Structure 1
Amino acid sequence: MENSKKFKILTITTSGLKKREGISTIILDYYSYFDKKKYQLDLVASGEYDSSYVHEFEKKEINIKKLPSRKKNLLKYIYKLAKLMKEERYDALYIHGSSAIMSIELYLAKILGCSVRVVHSHNTTCDHKRLDKILRPVFYKGYTKALACGESAGRWLFEKHDFEVIKNGRDISKYEYNEQKRVKCRKKLNLDDSTLAIGHVGNFNTQKNQEFLLRVLKELIKENKKVKMYLMGDGDMRKYIEVLSKKLGLSDYICFTGSISNVPEMLQAMDMMLLPSKHEGLPLVVIEWQIAGLPCIISDVVTRECAYMDYVYFLSLDKESDWKNKIIEVGRRDRKESDSLIYTNTQKNGYDLQKNIDILQKCFLKDF
């Protein structure tokens, strides 16, 4: 690469920047370590966006390009996106999503001379399955490189076509267990030593299934009153879940934190994490929880690929009582006992952020 010329990447996430979620977190983490003297990194904010979140990207020298809503005003979005691509003449398009509807951006880029078009699959289903099915033959001819966060997410979107897995790597030092941080955070949360702190991180929507967590908690407090559940995240269904928690008499046992930037700190204070998703690609949060040494109880529809430590448990969503029993059975574990094993297994299983950044950069630069 010539020193005088930066490699220009336009990145799009179909889930947008309206709130913090897995895909945008991955983009922020990876791009934070890219050399800004070599790369110009532009990220599309389509429609509404969280201004404080956008500011986090800008602090890392990731340029935000604000466009009309992809969902609410598609034609205007396409027009503005085409104009941006013409003006900037990007070397690469990097688009994240879970359906062949990404063909829109891929073919715009192709028509306008963008030679590297990388698509990254993050889930095992999508919202608009009929349109996805129609567009698949076109989609498979639109990209130059196919990536996926895991085997299941790759097979879902690319079927029999070739793809490469780049797992959602994490900064191990950011999430590893620290006894002093735990004591400090629990004190801040007014948690005494005897209270079992149960956590969940996710957007409030049908997929993440927080309603199920309320039913589990209702069962659990019948046997153990020394429990506090922390639901970390935001979303369209948050208000509904808050109202439901009051109706179920759970107000004293549950805390809605909203969208927060100190999740690694909060994980230090937790004793266990739950993920009752109805479907998932490869959940980023489960990787973080394992690095933090936390027992994880997750739904059995989630891919087994995400589990590389022996304290991840898969349960059916059929019975809340099974989840309650498993919580009681597992309880609180000694998180210091497997520090070295966690580090080794995280690297061995492909979740080391630094190694994955090198792999990703090669996807862009091999033809440059």
Structure 2
Amino acid sequence: MESIRVLHNIASLHFGGSQAFVMNIYNNIDREKVQFDFVVTPEERKDLYSQVEQMGGRIFVCPKYTGKNHFAYCKWWDDFFTEHPEYHVIHGHVRSTASIYLKIAKKHGLVTIAHSHSTSNGSGISAIVKDMLRLPIRHTADYLFACSDKAGKWLYGEKATEQPNYRMIPNGVDLNRFAFCEEKRQQMRQDLGIAKDTFVLGHIGRLTVPKNHQFLVELFAEYHKENPNSRLLLVGDGELFGTVQQQCTQLGIRDAVIMVGSKTNTEDYYQAMDVFVFPSLWEGLPVSVVEAQANGLHCLLSDVITHDVDLTDQVKYLALANKKVWLCEVANLQRKHRIAATTENMAKLQPFDATVVAKQLQSFYLEQDERARK
């Protein structure tokens, strides 16, 4: 039997949270039974294009929705489904226009899935427009997916989690890939120019407003004054990369902050860290926090982040308004010896194992594809 093809509509195929989720599933699903194809908007960066194509996936580029091109955008989708009758299931990760393209997909007989990966649209005029566009999604999609119940309630409404078509889908992680390794830790520290006794605060995530790097850099600057044998390791790229570099220079800590950009081997960079600091302003479910726990790292999170990632005894939530508490917690963790996650903690992380999540979604896709063909 030929594999079914599931269409994923995702904003881009460069590194990010929703991309990590989809690719983790794609890597662990049985591709002889289920294949993924992608619709993305035009982009310069094509980090994951070659990986998708090597795995047998196809990539289509649709126009970016501006509002002014509403009819052209709708026509593109209508024409696309007419030209590609092989699709029976669409999994939508672009929430801003989900009520548009999912409605068109339904007209063509597809089973439609909306997926919430966040808990905010940000601020400004674009956020207001997005808020208006997201309201019909709960009535348009056949299935309402979310990375956490908090993200589900935000996008679909307070009662969404009680509906029979709602699913909380954990962001799957390859737990073995992120396990702690002392040899790799020593190698990474040597490669990064970090001494064995240097205390390293780490963060992995795109350099964007929600991740709150400004707070993180200010926090480290204060900590570094009293603890000069410390470093801040930032893994990720984004529109604020230059701004963060400039902030580090202004605070006089540029030489103590290591910014390595976007990396595919993030598992290696966790090894070099001593504490994972994640002061986001808003999040859906940050998969990096699950990865950090799998690596045995203690995690300090802002208290706006969902407690769905509070899986082990390594997580602590702190209020962003009180920087002194953050400094105190970092100082306390400096005295702890860096070790791997315990067997007990790894067991608690099992629901987030990518192989488990992929198997569940595979069964779901096959079932929905069969239903749509009838």
Please give the TM-score of this superposition, normalised by the length of structure 2.
0.90
Does structure 1 conserve the Cα–Cα contact (< 8 Å) formed by 2:5 and 2:36?
yes
Q: Which residue, 8, 11, 14 being the options, matches 2:8?
A: 11
Show CA shifts across 1:195-250 (max 9, x none). 01111111111111101111101110121001111111111111111111111111
| SS of residue matched to 1:310 | coil
Distance 1:245 1:154, change over 3 A: same
| SS of residue matched to 1:203 | coil
Residues 306-317 of structure 1: matches in 2 within 5 Å?
306-317=309-320
Distance 1:70 1:142, change over 3 A: same
Q: Which residue, 43, 54, 64 being the options, matches 1:48?
A: 43
Distance 1:55 1:74, change over 3 A: farther
- Corresponding position of 1:107: 103
Q: Which residue, 197, 206, 209 being the options, matches 1:206?
A: 209
Residues 217-366 of structure 1: matches in 2 within 5 Å?
217-331=220-334, 333-336=336-339, 338-347=341-350, 350-366=351-367
**Deviation of the 1:23 alpha carbon:** 0.5
Matched, 1:30 2:25: yes
- Corresponding position of 1:95: 92
Give the counterpart letter for 1:149 in structure 2.
Answer: C
Distance (Å, rounded) in 1 between the aligned partners of 2:106 and 2:293: 40
Q: Which residue, 109, 125, 128 being the options, matches 2:120?
A: 125
Distance (Å, rounded) in 1 between the aligned partners of 2:340 and 2:135: 50
Does structure 2 conserve the Cα–Cα contact (< 8 Å) formed by 1:145 and 1:363?
no
Does structure 2 conserve the Cα–Cα contact (< 8 Å) formed by 1:315 and 1:322?
yes
Q: Which runs of 5+ in 2 are unaligned?
A: none
Give the counterpart letter for 2:140 in structure 1.
Answer: G
Does structure 1 conserve the Cα–Cα contact (< 8 Å) formed by 2:284 and 2:305?
yes
Show CA shifts across 1:310-345 (max 9, x none). 121111111333212210111264444643123211
Does structure 2 conserve the Cα–Cα contact (< 8 Å) formed by 1:106 and 1:117?
yes
- Corresponding position of 1:146: 144
Show CA shifts across 1:138-157 (max 9, x none). 32232111111111111111
Distance 1:189 1:71, change over 3 A: farther
Distance (Å, rounded) in 2 between the aligned partners of 1:97 and 1:180: 40
Distance (Å, rounded) in 1 between the aligned partners of 2:343 and 2:265: 24
Give the counterpart letter for 1:271 in structure 2.
Answer: D
| SS of residue matched to 1:191 | coil
Distance (Å, rounded) in 2 between the aligned partners of 1:359 and 1:257: 35
Distance 1:135 1:67, change over 3 A: closer
Does structure 2 conserve the Cα–Cα contact (< 8 Å) formed by 1:201 and 1:233?
yes
Matched, 1:189 2:192: yes
Matched, 1:79 2:75: yes
**Deviation of the 1:33 alpha carbon:** 2.3
**Deviation of the 1:283 alpha carbon:** 1.0
Show CA shifts across 1:257-313 (max 9, x none). 111112101111111111111111111110000000001111111112211111211
Does structure 2 conserve the Cα–Cα contact (< 8 Å) formed by 1:186 and 1:269?
yes
Distance (Å, rounded) in 2 between the aligned partners of 1:179 and 1:72: 52
Give the counterpart letter for 1:96 in structure 2.
Answer: H
Distance 1:74 1:195, change over 3 A: farther
Please give the TM-score of this superposition, normalised by the length of structure 1.
0.91
**Deviation of the 1:98 alpha carbon:** 4.7
Distance (Å, rounded) in 2 between the aligned partners of 1:215 and 1:69: 36
Give the counterpart letter for 1:26 in structure 2.
Answer: F
Structure with higher RCO (Cα < 8 A, 6+ apart): 2
Give the counterpart letter for 2:144 in structure 1.
Answer: A
- Count of paired positions: 359
Distance 1:339 1:20, change over 3 A: same
Give the counterpart letter for 1:365 in structure 2.
Answer: L
Distance (Å, rounded) in 2 between the aligned partners of 1:281 and 1:145: 18
**Deviation of the 1:7 alpha carbon:** 1.6
Distance (Å, rounded) in 1 between the aligned partners of 2:135 and 2:256: 50
Does structure 1 conserve the Cα–Cα contact (< 8 Å) formed by 2:179 and 2:341?
no
Distance (Å, rounded) in 2 between the aligned partners of 1:291 and 1:71: 40
Distance 1:53 1:333, change over 3 A: farther
**Deviation of the 1:52 alpha carbon:** 3.2
Alignment identity in percent? 28
